A and B are shown apart, each in its own frame.
Chain A
Amino acid sequence: MQLSDEELGHLERLARLKLDGESREKLRGQLERIIEFVKQLQAVDTGRVTPGADTGTHEAFYREDGTGACLERSEVLGQAPETKSGMFSVPPVIETDDT
């Protein structure tokens, strides 16, 4: 399975990663091996297996609709590399052809 430049570029965009040179080729090789492995899985005949949605047999449990304590704001903002006006400051996000 050969992973084309275009496919790799698409995955980079989805993962918000920018790779070049050696690391890009290294990742290409790793991804190709992962896809080969998935092909092995796909070769298994699962025709007689009931589709399942989870691994456990545990029963669902729920929460009643009451409110509890939240984190202190300072604690929350402490997680951010940059903050402004009580919010997390991040690079601009809208991607358009308009700019």
Chain B
Amino acid sequence: MREAEYEPVIGLEVHAQLLTRSKIYCDCPATFGAEPNTQVCPVCLGLPGALPVLNREAVSMALLMGLATKCTISPVSVFARKNYFYPDCPKNYQISMYDRPLCANGYIDIETDGETRRIRIERIHLEDDAGKLIHGEGGVSLVDFNRCGVPLIEIVTEPDIHSPAEAYVFLTNLRRLVRYLGICDGNMEEGSIRCDVNVSIRPVGSGTLGTRTEIKNLNSFKAVEAGIGTELERQERVLRSGGRIHQVTNLWDASKKRLIMMRTKEEAHDYRYFSEPDLPPLVVDRSWIDGVRERLPELPGERERRFIDQYHLSAYDAGVLCAERGVADYYEGVVSDVGEPKAASNWVMREVLEELKNPGSSIGEFPVKPEALAVLIRLVMDGMVSGTAGREVFKEMLRSGEGAPTVVERLGLRQVSEGDELEAAIDRVLDENPKEVERYRTGTTKLFAFFVGQVMKETGGKANPRVVSEILKVKLGD
């Protein structure tokens, strides 16, 4: 067993695209999906003489993330040029932050195997994204510069992660957090979140770190998990056969599930970082931070704990309901109208989330509003509609947009609980089954369920089974 001898040490560098309207250093739109090379200007193309001007909202969004991860906010941070030549970077440098980042020393707590683990955040800084390289036919690469200058935050963890699975959970938590904060849409397919990994192994109990390697091009959280697993196995094989680990960068090939070693590894001094002469130091004062703090929502982890305490939900239910802020808001909207937190949780988790699996549907535009679902739940709780009929009503509400009472009346799904109709139905059932009545009265009491079933059949499922049982007991002379 590997665990017996070596332990993995894993750190992540996550890039998240910020949801600003415009780019970080110019006013081109930062939106995804435009025709190639239509959202560019002299600044983001790095044309001579063009000067960057910082987007204030990008800073505020980075501060939101810093506050949400309990980071220390630096009163003065400094933009730095990271110099490199690559066709996706027309300026030939990235404007990033180096030795004086905006946020530092925070953490995110994650739950793995029922245990809380604190993953420390070393730093969060701002930078501009590069363009997008597409492999063209005939051995050329094609460049779309639209993405140049889209604001990014880079989140760097301490090497506190100790398994591929833990990396996966951390990233899931991080994604949930940026979506709660409304600063990133978390869409991996569109590259809104990207992750590089640093991996090393060391003998269990050793205080020193082994030589680390880097994995890039991880385009999904599952790829991160798989890439780390593959690299850990490779490193262990090398060390066991008496070899040495070299500091290299690997690319993950998702289709073949393997690592490809890149020829060279550029080190920090190769980038010739220096303070960005075109942007003054970034000064963030108390009032700016206070303003951002007011925008902080209740964070997902806190909300999950509150759902458990306040609504007495299971940890699992609370986790599912809080996975997305919109769903948690929806759930609380239902509960505030109808009470019944457990029933509301069942309805949201089963019916609403099931419906949201359909492509193109979103909780923000969900056709049945929380107030409308609350009315339906009330009808079911009061016995006006059976649980089964309730689900049918819900489907019809989704389809027609009508309220629950209208649908119930239109489809004749009102549960029969009282009155002559139900009495008459029960009498008919007893009249039509004299033999069973006789057997019941002479001791075959298990026939009771048969009578209930027959009454349900007679009423087309509209009878309230509890009321049917009560009346039957009287009529059968119990």
B283 within 8 A of A: yes
Q: Do B86 and A93 touch (CB < 8 A)? A: yes
B110 within 8 A of A: no
Q: Do A66 and B22 touch (CB < 8 A)? A: yes
Chain A 17-60 near chain B by CB (<8 Å), digits 1 or 0: 00000000000000000000000000000000000011110111
Closest residue of chain B to A82, judged by CB? B140
Q: Which of B181-189, B273-281, B335-343 forms part of the interface with chain A?
A: B273-281
B contact residues around A67 at 8 Å (CB): 21-22, 27-29
Closest residue of chain B to A85, judged by CB? B142
Closest residue of chain B to A76, judged by CB? B37
B36 within 8 A of A: yes
Report Cα–Cα, A14/B83, bound state, in Å. 10
B315 within 8 A of A: no
Q: Do B140 and A73 touch (CB < 8 A)? A: no
Chain A 71-88 near chain B by CB (<8 Å), digits 1 or 0: 101001101000011111
Q: Do B140 and A92 touch (CB < 8 A)? A: yes
Chain B 47-60 near chain A by CB (<8 Å), digits 1 or 0: 10000011111110
B144 within 8 A of A: yes
B270 within 8 A of A: yes
Report Cα–Cα, A56/B279, bound state, in Å. 10
Q: Do A87 and B280 touch (CB < 8 A)? A: no
- Most chain-A Cβ atoms within 10 A of its Cβ — which of B37, B134, B140, B144? B37
B contact residues around A69 at 8 Å (CB): 41
Q: Do A60 and B143 touch (CB < 8 A)? A: no
Q: Do A85 and B277 touch (CB < 8 A)? A: no
B contact residues around A13 at 8 Å (CB): 264
Report Cα–Cα, A56/B59, bound state, in Å. 22
B contact residues around A5 at 8 Å (CB): none
Q: Do A63 and B55 touch (CB < 8 A)? A: yes
B162 within 8 A of A: no
Chain B 158-188 near chain A by CB (<8 Å), digits 1 or 0: 0000000000000000000000000000000
Chain B 26-46 near chain A by CB (<8 Å), digits 1 or 0: 011100000111111110010
Report Cα–Cα, A26/B41, bound state, in Å. 38
Q: Do B100 and A53 touch (CB < 8 A)? A: yes
B contact residues around A76 at 8 Å (CB): 37-38, 40, 45, 145
Q: Do A91 and B27 touch (CB < 8 A)? A: no
Q: Residues of A within 8 Å of B, CB-based: how many?
A: 42
Report Cα–Cα, A92/B39, bound state, in Å. 24
B133 within 8 A of A: yes
Q: Do B37 and A87 touch (CB < 8 A)? A: yes
Q: Do A53 and B78 touch (CB < 8 A)? A: yes
Q: Do A60 and B145 touch (CB < 8 A)? A: no
B141 within 8 A of A: yes
Q: Do B53 and A62 touch (CB < 8 A)? A: yes
Chain B 272-297 near chain A by CB (<8 Å), digits 1 or 0: 00010101111100000000000000
Q: Do B35 and A73 touch (CB < 8 A)? A: yes
Q: Do B141 and A93 touch (CB < 8 A)? A: yes
B contact residues around A58 at 8 Å (CB): 280
Min distance, Cβ A17 to any Cβ of chain B, angstroms: 9
Report Cα–Cα, A55/B279, bound state, in Å. 11
Min distance, Cβ A94 to any Cβ of chain B, angstroms: 7
Q: Do A62 and B56 touch (CB < 8 A)? A: yes
Report Cα–Cα, A93/B264, bound state, in Å. 13
Min distance, Cβ B276 to any Cβ of chain A, angstroms: 8
B contact residues around A86 at 8 Å (CB): 35-37, 144
Report Cα–Cα, A69/B135, bound state, in Å. 29
B53's partner among A53, A54, A61 (CB-CB below 8 A) is A61
B21's partner among A60, A65, A71, A98 (CB-CB below 8 A) is A65
Q: Which of B222-230, B255-263, B363-371 forms part of the interface with chain A?
A: B255-263
A contact residues around B21 at 8 Å (CB): 65-67
Q: Do B263 and A93 touch (CB < 8 A)? A: no
Q: Do A98 and B56 touch (CB < 8 A)? A: no
A-B contact pairs, 10 of them (CB 8 A): A14-B84, A53-B78, A62-B59, A69-B41, A70-B29, A70-B38, A85-B142, A89-B141, A90-B87, A97-B262
Q: Besides the contacts A60-B283, A63-B56, A94-B251, what 19 more A-B pairs have beta carbons closer than 8 Å?
A: A14-B85, A53-B78, A53-B100, A53-B281, A60-B54, A63-B22, A63-B53, A66-B27, A67-B28, A68-B41, A70-B28, A71-B45, A73-B35, A85-B136, A86-B35, A92-B135, A96-B263, A97-B261, A98-B261
Closest 4 CB pairs of A and B: A65-B57, A68-B27, A62-B56, A87-B142
